[in-house]
Chain A
Amino acid sequence: MNSAPVDVSVPRIELAAVRDIVPVAASVVPFALVIGSAMREIGVSGGVGVLGGGAMYSGSAHLAAVALLGAGAELLMILAAVAVINARLLVYGAALEPRFRTQPRWFRWLGPHFLVDQTYALATARDDLDEPDRFRRYWVVAGLVLGAFWIVAMAAGMGLGAAIPASSPLNFTATAVIIALLAPRLRARPQVLVAAVAAAVATTSSSLPNGLGLGVGLAAGIVAGALIEARQR
């Protein structure tokens, strides 16, 4: 991502999408390796694992589903965990809905498949995607590149299995991308307060199961933002 003024001389939005998404896609490679390795551990076949990675397109929920499956959990319990972990996608969808409103029907139904934390943050950080056609090309290219990295890394993780080290400095790349997406937005007081509330609540509720603390932190930050705006008006 580049917070510098968008260069209008960039001839094609596809190039901008690739430039934005490649660091993000590289940063999720360690996570995809771990998920692939976890799937191999519980005996998921290669085809199912790779197709599942593309179909879910969602790391934390995928890893939770695999862990619960390995622990012998019931299908409904697994789905409940997936729903809790990914409930924030509802919020992202609501925020991006104006971008999808004017799109062709196929894209309104299929395009949101590429909705993840990082693509949401990238798309909302750009101010040159008002044209529906431009947004659509940006979104599809970013989504496909991210998906390609994701699936290839997951397949590699399934191939390597237990050879994947559980911890290495490279695992920090995904966190670094979150920082890179967040820091440039912290230029005004309301944003700083929203971030502080969300982070504090997510931290204090981190012992909740199934990543629920993340959702609680997100909700607290949004409420804080609403209160700040109400006071300003």
Chain B
Amino acid sequence: MSAVVLLASSVVTWLLRVGFIVIVPARRLPEGLRRVLDHAAVAALAALLATALTRESGPAWLLTPSPVLVAAVAAGLVAWRTGRMGLTVVVAVTVLWAAQLIM
């Protein structure tokens, strides 16, 4: 059963991946709809981040001081200033570890 579930889930996922690449190529979509997609990356990343922070500290994550929020802000500043991913990850985990000890 687990093999069937994973195989079928993989097919569903792959269909979503190729959907607007080969099945209905996005160039056939209306121009306005395509231009909207320019914002998809920022919207997706922000939604992913909010979902992760909500999972960690609940829906009031922005208003509740927590080690995770401190680490996220520190990581955000480093990423915004330097654009360096490795450094951002190291700072995030280190700050989270330290904040968990203190808070």
Binding site for B on A (CB under 8 A): 1-4, 20, 23-24, 26-27, 39, 42-45, 48-49, 51-52, 55-58, 61-62, 65, 69, 75, 78-79, 82-83, 86-98, 100-101, 108-109, 112-113, 115, 117, 120-121, 124, 169-170, 172-186, 190-191, 194-204, 206-207, 211, 213-215, 217-226, 229
Judging by beta carbons under 8 Å apart, are B36 and A93 in contact? Answer: no
- A55's partner among B10, B34, B53 (CB-CB below 8 A) is B10
Total number of B residues with any Cβ neighbor in A under 8 Å? 71
Smallest Cβ distance from B90 to chain A, in angstroms?
A: 9
Smallest Cβ distance from B27 to chain A, in angstroms?
A: 6
Main secondary structure of the interface of A (DSSP, over half): helix
Given A57-B13, A202-B54, A221-B43, 9 extra CB contacts under 8 A: A48-B2, A92-B17, A100-B21, A169-B96, A179-B76, A198-B43, A201-B47, A217-B50, A224-B39
Task: State A200–B4 Cα separation when bound (angstroms).
Answer: 37
Q: Using Cβ atoms and an 8 Å threshold, which residues of chain B touch A196?
A: 46
> Nearest CB to that of A87 among chain B residues?
B16
Task: State A173–B95 Cα separation when bound (angstroms).
Answer: 12
> Nearest CB to that of B88 among chain A residues?
A180
> Nearest CB to that of A48 among chain B residues?
B3
Judging by beta carbons under 8 Å apart, are B20 and A94 in contact? Answer: yes
Main secondary structure of the interface of B (DSSP, over half): helix
> Nearest CB to that of A207 among chain B residues?
B59
> Given the known A-B contacts A83-B12, A172-B71, are A198 and B42 also in contact in the complex, defined by CB atoms under 8 Å?
yes
Task: State A196–B9 Cα separation when bound (angstroms).
Answer: 32
Q: Using Cβ atoms and an 8 Å threshold, which residues of chain A touch B79?
A: 179-180, 182-184
A-B contact pairs, 27 of them (CB 8 A): A2-B85, A44-B2, A82-B12, A86-B13, A91-B37, A94-B26, A101-B25, A101-B27, A108-B18, A113-B17, A169-B93, A172-B93, A173-B89, A175-B56, A179-B75, A179-B79, A180-B88, A182-B79, A184-B79, A186-B80, A194-B39, A194-B43, A198-B50, A211-B51, A217-B46, A221-B44, A222-B36
> Given the known A-B contacts A100-B22, A179-B76, A180-B75, are A204 and B12 also in contact in the complex, defined by CB atoms under 8 Å?
no
Judging by beta carbons under 8 Å apart, are A94 and B29 in contact? Answer: yes
> Given the known A-B contacts A69-B1, A177-B85, are A55 and B7 also in contact in the complex, defined by CB atoms under 8 Å?
yes
Judging by beta carbons under 8 Å apart, are B85 and A1 in contact? Answer: yes
Q: Using Cβ atoms and an 8 Å threshold, which residues of chain B touch A75?
A: 4-5, 8
